[in-house]
Structure 1
Amino acid sequence: MEWGHMEVEKYLREMPEFNTERLTLRKLDFSDLEDVFSFCSNPNVAQPMTWDVNESKDVTKEFLDMVIRGYEKGESGEWGVVWNETGKVIGVVAFIDWSNKHKCIELGYFLSEEYWGRGIATEALQELVRYGFKELNLNRIEGRSDTDNFGSQKVMKKLGMKYEGTLRKNEFIKGEFRDTEVYSILGGRVLSL
């Protein structure tokens, strides 16, 4: 498949919904405000992220507004992670950065603390990895985490990503420079997900 200048953006405007045994991945909307605020207001969820704790629902609403407006332009790659049993949004998985030229995408993700350690992030991200390689014809999918975010590193390893190295003090987040571990998986690799 030839990539044009707007290839990833085109696919993001037509974002598919994904369904697994436990989860549905779908576009976020304003009706998700309460659910998203419930985990974005948790300091433990926000701590490793680049964004701050959502102190009010207005902050969460601004996030949702940015994402929803971005869907129309192909600028938002966020899927709400819905727990099928309750219909509640329990997290977000995303394509947070991409290069059409290099056929590369970076994954982002965060979950409600209540659902940590249950394989949910891996289950959701497997769908994005498959979609990226099969539909977007990507060459590379990468992920990054703070060096002390062992849960995130475990997720990336379970996705088949390989550790590539540590970027030393490369990001200034919440008043400090942080080291970032980089992981990736290549499209030519057979997925055993």
Structure 2
Amino acid sequence: MFPTLNTDRLMLRELTENDALDILICFSNPDVLRFYGQSPLANQNQVKQIIRNFSMNYEEKRGIKWGIAVKGEAGIIGTIGFQEWSQEHKRADISYALIPEMWGKGYAIEAVNKVISYGFQELNLTRIGAMVFTENESSIKLLEKIGFEKEGVLKKYMYQDGVAYDTNIYSLVDPKTT
């Protein structure tokens, strides 16, 4: 069964095809995509296929993606999850995105903290990684505040709008394993 996670203000829940419009709004916004390394989503049918792929990735234990919902409000304000999940190597990479109207309200750090706790406690991860465009100051600040450490820079690692960008690689290691 897909895990639902709760924080004081948020519910992190399984994405369904009913979330397609909210996801399309988020991932067609140039401000969201500026540092995401992804082309804008084009239509709800494309999004519904992506949601089905998320479900398959979870079933195959390769990734998990939650919709971020504000408690008491309809719809979702973004997504968060793990990709590149390896049970064998006890690691995964985290990614997250919120619609710009929800930036600066503390929702991202609240969701990231909850997902990290879930990763270490329930998925038995030892390491959680994050790839961040070197220009993405907000995400860098968030990760460092939580305790992620910068391991290095991957030169020209990700493309956005046909331009190659350097990417910082960050990690957080489960404190129980150090």
TM-score, normalised by the number of residues in structure 1: 0.83
Give the structure 2 partner of residue 124 of structure 1. Answer: 111
Deviation at 1:177, TM superposition (A): 1.8
Q: Deviations over 1:147-186 (max 9, x none)?
A: 0011111121122111222111123443122101111111
Match of 1:44 among 31, 34, 40: 31
Match of 2:92 among 102, 105, 121: 105
CA contact (8 A) 2:68 2:77 kept: yes
Q: For 2:166, give the aligned amino acid.
A: D
Q: Deviations over 1:58-117 (max 9, x none)?
A: 332232232234343334410000111313200000101122332111101111111011
Give the structure 2 partner of residue 88 of structure 1. Answer: 75
TM-score, normalised by the number of residues in structure 2: 0.90
Where do residues 138-157 of structure 1 align in structure 2 (5 Å cutoff)? 138-157=125-144
Tell me the SS of whatever aligns to 2:20.
Answer: helix
Cα distance between partner residues in 1 of 2:24 and 2:71 = 19
CA contact (8 A) 1:165 1:182 kept: yes
Cα distance between partner residues in 1 of 2:108 and 2:83 = 15
Deviation at 1:189, TM superposition (A): 5.7
CA contact (8 A) 1:48 1:146 kept: yes
Q: For 1:145, give the aligned amino acid.
A: V
- Point out where structure 1 has 5 or more consecutive residues left out of the alignment: 1-13
CA contact (8 A) 1:170 1:178 kept: yes
CA contact (8 A) 1:137 1:187 kept: no
Identity %: 33
* CA RMSD across the alignment: 1.9
